[in-house]
Amino acid sequence: MFRFEEISYLYLLAIVPVLVFTYFLYVLWVKKDRSKLSEDKLFSQLAPGFSWPRKYLKFGLLLFSLAFLLVGWANPQWGNKKEKVKAKSSDIFIALDISQSMMAEDISPNRLERAKRLAINIVKSLKGNRIGLILFAGNAYLQMPLSSDFTAAQIFIQSANTNQAGTQGTAITEAIDLAQRAFEDDVQYQRALVIVTDGENHDEEAIAKAKEARDNGLVVFTVGVGTEEGGYVPYEERGREQFKKDKDGVAIKSKLNLNLLRDLSDAGNGKYYLIQQGDKIISELKSEIERIEKQEVEQRSFSEYASYFQYFLAFGLLLLLIEYLINNNSSGKVRKSIIDI
């Protein structure tokens, strides 16, 4: 596995194209200024041995020297010892509601954005466990299977949107069923499912499915997104923002179904939270999941890294020395150096 120990030094490489552009402007200015003083033939007599190619070569060597030195300072490393380690881990699925009602703005900026922020924070707090992601609306589908790739999980959550929903609704039953099927059949009692939803338009079988999941070793937690007062559900039509209306054309409010979330968590032997609780959800959820019986899983890791900065620094310094020894003119003379001694 390759990495840079101090990757911030690589950002300084952005100065290289700036130096090239500046040098290009300098050359144009010198040539233009020189043409005012004398013709090329006369200039060659006034400055015998002057060589633009040598100037270009020296500048190029300086640039490459700078680039190699910066890469060396960043310290490129290669993991040269791969070990298999055992770790205790729980398996957690996050089921995120992406139905249209999640666009309601009764909490700022809207339910879905707040839910995504919370889900990302949950992922960050549960490092060391395996995380999976389920998205659901009218149907549920597996966005990411159980994995220790927390960066990928955060990317999938951040990109979630209502356009990914094929049909509208709140298929909590299907989300729970999908989570059960996605777990390994021979492993039990270290599983958890965190459902982040407003609970609107749910199907009636959700409670029964949560009880079934509990009997199969799956603990169900719920996070309510929204308010009981509710909010209007916006959508865009022909470039204009509209609000969801009933059959009589009256704008309707989407309200948080708090009773459903409480019943689901009770049936699933878990707890329910309201998204307004913020960091309290993260700390309590982490504590609850820590109590779940864990399994021992094998993880691969690179325990040792070999550094190769010395090669880049040496080559960069060598280029710098070569640049110093090259004279600006082509008369064949070189600067006095330790070679002449």
**Per-residue pLDDT tens digits for 315-333:** 999 999 998 888 765 554 4
> How far apart (Å, rounded) are the C-alpha atoms in residues 117 and 148?
19
How many CB atoms are located within 10 Å of the residue 268 CB? 26
Please report, rounded to a whole number, the percentage of residues in the chain having pLDDT higher than 70: 81
**Per-residue pLDDT tens digits for 248-262:** 778 888 999 999 999
DSSP letters spanning 99-146: SGGGG--SSSS-HHHHHHHHHHHHHHHTBTBEEEEEEESSSEEEEEEE
Q: What is the largest CA-CA distance in the chain?
A: 99
Residue bearing the bigger pLDDT, 52 or 318:
318
What residue ranges define each of the domains in the chain, with the CATH number in brackets? 2-75+308-325 (no CATH), 87-298 (3.40.50.410)
So what's the pLDDT on residue 213?
Answer: 92
Please report, rounded to a whole number, the percentage of residues in the chain having pLDDT higher than 90: 47
Q: Are strands 240-243 and 234-237 parallel, antiparallel or unpaired?
A: antiparallel
Selection from 264, 234, 255 nearest residue 95 by Cα: 264
Residue bearing the bigger pLDDT, 328 or 164:
164
| SS3 assignment for 210-275 | HHHHHHCCEEEEEEECCCCCCEECEEEECCEEEECECCCCCECEECCCHHHHHHHHHHCCCCEEEH
Residue whose structure tokens are 């691969």: 300
- Reading the block at residue 244, the tokens are 């969801």
Selection from 141, 272, 268, 133 nearest residue 199 by Cα: 272
Spatial contact of 131 and 92, defined as CB atoms under 8 Å apart: yes
So what's the pLDDT on residue 81?
Answer: 64
Spatial contact of 189 and 89, defined as CB atoms under 8 Å apart: no
Average pLDDT over residues 103-122: 95
The separation between CA 31 and the C-alpha centre of its own chain, rounded to angstroms, equals 49
The separation between CA 91 and the C-alpha centre of its own chain, rounded to angstroms, equals 21
How many CB atoms are located within 10 Å of the residue 260 CB? 21
Res. 107: pLDDT tops 90: yes
Beta strands in 138-215 (DSSP E): 140-147, 191-197
Average pLDDT, the chain: 83
